[in-house]
Amino acid sequence: MSDARETVRDPDWYTSGAVETIAKIEAVIDGLPAREAFLLGQILRYADRAGEKDDPAIDLGKANNYAHRLVTGDWRCDGGR
């Protein structure tokens, strides 16, 4: 990306796949209650960019932490974020 505007609008880590991350998120969360939609969107966001922006373990750890919160209502106790 050549400038900050493009990095904000179309960062490579969200646009490198066949389907843009936001399109995947919108398709999956449509009709869900706000809390579940947000948490699931975060899970998809971090899983989709794993290895594209940060160390894959970091992004997958974040996705795992949001998944844990979606299922249990709490953040992971081991700081897996």
Quote the pLDDT of residue 31: 98
The model's confidence at residue 1, banded by pLDDT at 50, 70 and 90, is very low
The model's confidence at residue 81, banded by pLDDT at 50, 70 and 90, is very low
Give pLDDT tens digits for 28-74: 999 999 999 999 999 999 999 998 888 999 999 999 999 999 999 99
pTM for this prediction: 0.76
* Cα dist from 11 to 16, 17, 41, 49, 70, whole Å: 9, 12, 17, 10, 26
In sign, the C-alpha dihedral spanning 32, 36, 40, 42 is: positive
